[in-house]
Structure 1
Amino acid sequence: MIATDTRKVKEILPKVKVEEDAESLYQEDSGDTFWGGFQYVIGGIIVLLMTLGIGTFVAMIIIDDGGGLDNLFGFICFGIFGIIMLGVGCWLLSTGIYNTRVAIKLTPGRIYFKEWPLKQNDIFEFTYRRRAKVPLHLSGLTAKIICKEVATYQQGTNTRTVTEKIYEQELERVEHHSREDFISHTWVWNIPPDAPISLSVYRNEIQWSLVVGVEFLDFLNDTSEFTLLLNPERVQ
């Protein structure tokens, strides 16, 4: 069991937090927490209530004005807006319920590693660990390395953001057919020498991430996502 009483927080990049304990560095998926799921639920409820309130207000105005084509046009416009907002609210609510259910049964996923940040043409060995609060029937683990380029363009008065996946590698799939209360596996990724380095400048970003999937036979499948930071190759 890794001790955490001596851990220190190292801020690498905005929204990227790597912590250190007595044995290694680790990163935790903040999206796996109960509070994260609860926030989605609250957000969904707020959006749905706001949509209902605005809809009631608009309907009362139309009724008071006695209808008419102008009011009908406004009602149609609000109807389209309301449908969009209902979709957003339902998505937030369903996502929050899903995340909350997962957080009740599983602790947040973590990856443990020895070196940070990563380097081109190096080896990244990491161990994924996650604890089930009750034994669950695990069927498999997956891991995927993804690199995306996010570019923002200005077209007249409009701003357009384009995201393109420029690298993806699936690591070895691990098969399990047992009931587990502690999930752990180690993968190794050979980092290409020409892999794009992490970048965050005005209107352009290179984002690396690691996505670990956990598959169960008797519970919801879930993923943990971690942000990676890739620097240029070491100079010998």
Structure 2
Amino acid sequence: MTESVSETATESAVEAVDAYLDALADALRFDPPLAARVVEEVGDHLECALAAEADGADPDATDAGGAAARVIARFGAPRRIAAQFAALALQQQADRLWRLAALVALVAFAAMGLRRWHLDPVEMDSDPLALAALALDRLAFIAALLLGLWGGWLARDARRRWQPGARDWARLFAGLRLSLVALAALMLSVAADTALTVPRLTDAAVENVGPGTLWPAAALTLEITLVLVLAVAVSRCRDHAAVVRRLLA
């Protein structure tokens, strides 16, 4: 009889832990890889805590369900644990975002330089549309750089003094909004750069110009690819931040 009661209590403990982990996974369902990592890590901690609880208990005790409840209570509500892990993941994601943005800016600057060195200079072109595109390219790039630096500073400042209060969230989301505007300016710069580079690449191909023209072509392709990747990263970071704020509310 005692063995049967013990088995029942153990099953109850397993069910309680599984329910806790399911609630944790549900709170983090917006990011399946993060949810899987957190559930695995927390599951290991719960298992160790339950083992420690069992080691210190009366050998004749059968209150495994009560032990699971105590361990879970010490861990805290699934939503709070999920919020802590999600906030940490948000910080890491934002850091990757700013590094990617810096890389995109460098590639965009290099693409402009390679176009100028290996292709016909736009400044010698009498076409007013080409000159307007050149001005737009430069101004949009400078605007993207300044707005991106401002947005990055706001977001990093909010995370450096991380307290999930109204002021910190306001600064973080202000930084992300500025990053979106900077991304739009950068996309405008890339569009102008494409409009300037493609016709010159076509002319160089027709005139059989040397292999040096491959450099601006490669830089432009990489620039467009990285801008698209950056757009996805900014969107995901903003969505992630909205979820974290909701979890911490």
Common fold, TM-score beyond 0.5? no
Higher strand share: 1
Which of the two has higher C-alpha Rg?
A: 2
The TM-score, its normalising length taken from structure 2, stands at 0.33
Higher helix share: 2
The answer to which structure, 1 or 2, has the higher relative contact order (CA under 8 A, 6+ apart) is 2
